[in-house]
Amino acid sequence: MSTAAPAHQTLTTSQRPLAVGLVLSVTLVAFETTAVITALPTITDELDGLSLYGVTIAAYMLADLIALVWSGETADRRGVRLPFLICIGFFLAGLVVAATAQSMIVVVIGRFLQGAGSGGFAPLSYISVRRAFPESRQGTMYAALSAGWVLPSLIAPAVAGVITDTFGWRWVFIGITPLALTVALLTARAMGTIALPERDTERVPSRLPRAVQAAAGVGLIAFGLQSHNPLVTAALALAGAFVAAPALRTLLPAGTFRARRGLPAILAVRFLATATFLGVDSFVPLAADRFHGARPIVQGFVVAGSAVAWSAGQAFAARRGTRLLPQRGASMGFGLLLMGVALTAPVLSSGWPLPLTFATWCIGGLGIGILFNPTTVASMSYAVEGHEGTVSSQVHLADSLGFGIMSVIGGATVAYADHTSLSLRGALGINFGLAATCACVGLFASRGIRSMVRTTPVTV
């Protein structure tokens, strides 16, 4: 358990700067993610890279997958500060590469490096909360981390849109660099106050090779789905599944993809929730660009409300505390996500008002927010001292897989529409349909969460 001070409502002098630093780290990722999504349609237009729209998103997610496993196990062995600094280094390198890109492929490389950096932030934040804050404060801290998305969601689309229109999309990446350096200095210093808990001296084999294997497998599937040749698509997809499946069986608890009661069910729910959310959120700006002729600033604002609603949902769940059981929170979340997908789908019609899309997708954001807080608290209850990184990385691995696999499939449909008779409207309609399917499956999977939270942490 935590080595922090006894539970009370007021944070200590060491906890306050840590809380600020952790929230700033989330704010950095949120600002970068929201700003780049706003600029991405313009980037693909200028570099003639529509076929790589989904690959750009997938590359970020695949690197995120590797980084979250590495950062989690490194934090268990060396503490949170060292992996945090290394992650910031990768993040900064990715910003520079993307800012200087002369082709869409180089943008993809830059996004991969950024994903390798930002992928470690979320598990390191969860580990820090688990180790440095008493149990009575942990739910509130998870909600505070989510609140780090609010301000970027409100201002990043406007800032990124104005910068893209006035100076060019490259300055979106350049402008994030000073913020990243500031966060690195403040957060790393605060993380120095977290002591590494004692743990068994037995050396646990690294899970990093399996993470790389899983990312490679998903990457093969992504490249296969981009091919114009059906035989190549089938061959690479099968090869990718063959490579990724055994790695994921090692990285995740047994029964995850059957939603077996306990931690596996939580991870299955997180996978389905993030897949549902990304199946809509990443493609609404593209729809606003292609079907409504919206400028970059408007494209970003259409989905900005969902991030604010996400934070509001987490705050609501945190206030409810133990009164909102994880199973009920998940069911409510998926119900709202499904409603949000259905009400947002008309954005594919050029006559549909974009302000309505802003409002309807807030419903989806509220749903995933209500789902996230209780499932986060429930999942971290399975972590024992010294192994917080393992459970934290498993939670974020499920999240990353949901984002990554849906971005691979969604990007493939967009690429397919770019070189076949399938219309872009039809491709995005398929993505929205897949998102709705994931939400429906999630409603059934959430049943396995019932009565799985334990008062005493157990070894996974």
The burial class, CB within 10 Å (0-12 / 13-18 / 19+), for 102 is exposed
Residue 44's pLDDT is 86
Q: Which region, left, alpha or beta, applies to residue 134 given φ > 0 means left and ψ of -120 to 50 means alpha? A: beta
Who has greater pLDDT, 344 or 20?
344
CA atoms within 13 A on the CB side of 294: 30
Cα–Cα dist 286/292, whole Å: 9
Who has greater pLDDT, 178 or 299?
178
* pLDDT tops 80 at residue 355: yes
Q: What's the Rg (C-alpha) of the chain?
A: 21
455 confidence band (pLDDT: 50, 70, 90)? very low
Q: Could you tell me if 263 and 382 are in contact, meaning their C-beta atoms sit under 8 angstroms apart?
A: yes
Residue 456's pLDDT is 39
Residue 453's pLDDT is 43
Residue 86's pLDDT is 93
Helices (H) and strands (E) in the chain, counts: 17, 0
Highest-scoring range by mean pLDDT, 163-172, 206-215, 281-290, 327-336:
327-336
Residue 418's pLDDT is 72
Residue 381's pLDDT is 80
Residue 338's pLDDT is 96
Q: Give me the mean pLDDT over the 385-401 stretch.
A: 79
Q: Give me the mean pLDDT over the 100-119 stretch.
A: 91
Highest-scoring range by mean pLDDT, 148-162, 165-179, 387-401:
165-179
CA atoms 362, 365, 370, 373: torsion sign: negative
Residue 280's pLDDT is 92
Residue 405's pLDDT is 82
Highest-scoring range by mean pLDDT, 27-31, 93-97, 300-304:
93-97
389 confidence band (pLDDT: 50, 70, 90)? confident
Determine which of 321-325, 393-397, 425-429 has the lowest per-residue pLDDT on average. 321-325
Cα–Cα dist 275/29, whole Å: 19
Highest-scoring range by mean pLDDT, 73-82, 287-296, 349-358:
349-358
236-268: pLDDT as tens digits: 889 999 999 999 988 998 888 888 888 899 999
* pLDDT tops 70 at residue 201: no
Pick the CATH number of 15-193+252-449 from 3.60.110.10, 1.20.1250.20, 1.20.200.10, 1.10.287.70: 1.20.1250.20
* SS3 (DSSP) at 187: helix
Q: Give me the mean pLDDT over the 17-24 stretch.
A: 85
157 confidence band (pLDDT: 50, 70, 90)? confident
* pLDDT tops 60 at residue 330: yes
* pLDDT tops 60 at residue 87: yes
Percent of the chain with pLDDT strictly greater than 70: 91
52-66: pLDDT as tens digits: 777 787 788 788 889
Domain boundaries, the chain: 15-193+252-449
The burial class, CB within 10 Å (0-12 / 13-18 / 19+), for 458 is exposed
Q: Could you tell me if 208 and 69 are in contact, meaning their C-beta atoms sit under 8 angstroms apart?
A: yes
Residue 200's pLDDT is 55
Largest interatomic CA distance in the chain: 64
CB neighbours of 206 closer than 8 A, spacing ≥ 6? Answer: 73
Determine which of 99-108, 111-120, 188-197, 239-248 has the lowest per-residue pLDDT on average. 188-197
Cα–Cα dist 225/273, whole Å: 23
In this structure, how many other beta carbons lie within 10 angstroms of the beta carbon of residue 204? 12
Residue 451's pLDDT is 40
Average pLDDT of the chain is 83
Residue 5's pLDDT is 40
* pLDDT tops 70 at residue 10: no
In this structure, how many other beta carbons lie within 10 angstroms of the beta carbon of residue 384? 16
Highest-scoring range by mean pLDDT, 60-74, 185-199, 408-422, 442-456:
60-74
Cα–Cα dist 47/49, whole Å: 5
* pLDDT tops 80 at residue 1: no
* pLDDT tops 50 at residue 6: no
In this structure, how many other beta carbons lie within 10 angstroms of the beta carbon of residue 357? 24
DSSP assignments along 407-459, one per residue: HHHHHHHHHHHHHSS--HHHHHHHHHHHHHHHHHHHHHHGGGGTT---SS---
Residue 230's pLDDT is 80
Name residue 201's amino acid.
T
293 confidence band (pLDDT: 50, 70, 90)? confident
Q: Give me the mean pLDDT over the 287-303 stretch.
A: 81
Cα–Cα dist 329/339, whole Å: 15
DSSP assignments along 126-184, one per residue: HHHHHHHS-HHHHHHHHHHHHHTTHHHHHHHHHHHHHHHHHT-THHHHHHHHHHHHHHH
Residue 73's pLDDT is 84
